[in-house]
Amino acid sequence: MIKAIVFDIGGVLIGLDLGRCIQAFQDILGYYRITELLDPYHQKGIYGEMEAGRLTATEFRTLVLSESKPGSKPSDVDRCMGALLTGMTQDTVDTVKELATRYPLYLLSNNNPIAMPIITGMFRDNGIGPETFKGQFISSEMRLLKPSREIYEATVKGIGLPAGEILFIDDNDVNVEAARAAGLQARLYVHGTRLSTLLADL
């Protein structure tokens, strides 16, 4: 029996556009190394270090700006980071709101302190307030990354339910399998499909 639902953010609740993000870094900052850092599922280099909690947002911005065109500002870095996020579909918004009336909802995401305020704003703009999610488990704050077993175990402990009563939704099959190995129920979200369809049996 499912008693709580945990969502990944990027690629599940909020769409991602890697091409747009890369273009922004190159056009706005003249920062071409972004192609080495950005990945649909697991960021690399200094981007990955920030998501693992080993680099602060300030340190990340400083490193990017050190290789960007003159006159670039920290706010430009944040703007480029935000270009990765495309927003929520109406189906996703409606599904989250409806499920929140029946289940405690949580977030589990490999994410970072630059993107999270943008994500919170996107939620708010769609009428999804902080009360919608009972808790969030963010890699940069936990200093753990999916698909490590430790991040799932910490999430289960934080929720306070048996792992088998928690359903996890992610768009990366590696993360889904890791969640199952840690005892959670898990489903793979396929890009371009409706979240309501994936969860229609709940």
Q: Which residues make up the CATH 1.10.150.240 domain(s) of the chain?
A: 18-83
Burial class of residue 69 (count of CB atoms within 10 Å of its CB; 0-12, 13-18, 19+): exposed
Residue 135 confidence (pLDDT): 98
Query: Would you say domain 18-83 falls under CATH 1.10.150.240?
Result: yes
**CATH fold group of domain 4-15+87-198:** Rossmann fold (3.40.50)
Residue 186 confidence (pLDDT): 99
State the Cα–Cα distance between residues 31 and 76, nearest whole angstrom: 11
Residue 69 confidence (pLDDT): 97
Considering the entire predicted model, what is its pTM? 0.96
Q: Which residues make up the CATH 3.40.50.1000 domain(s) of the chain?
A: 4-15+87-198
pLDDT averaged per 10 residues, the chain (length 202)? 98 97 98 92 93 98 98 98 98 99 98 98 97 98 98 99 99 98 99 97 97
- Could you tell me the CA-to-CA distances from 185 to 1, 37, 41, 127, 164 in Å, in that order? 10, 31, 20, 28, 6
Residue 41 confidence (pLDDT): 80
Residue 138 confidence (pLDDT): 99
- DSSP letter at 171 equals S
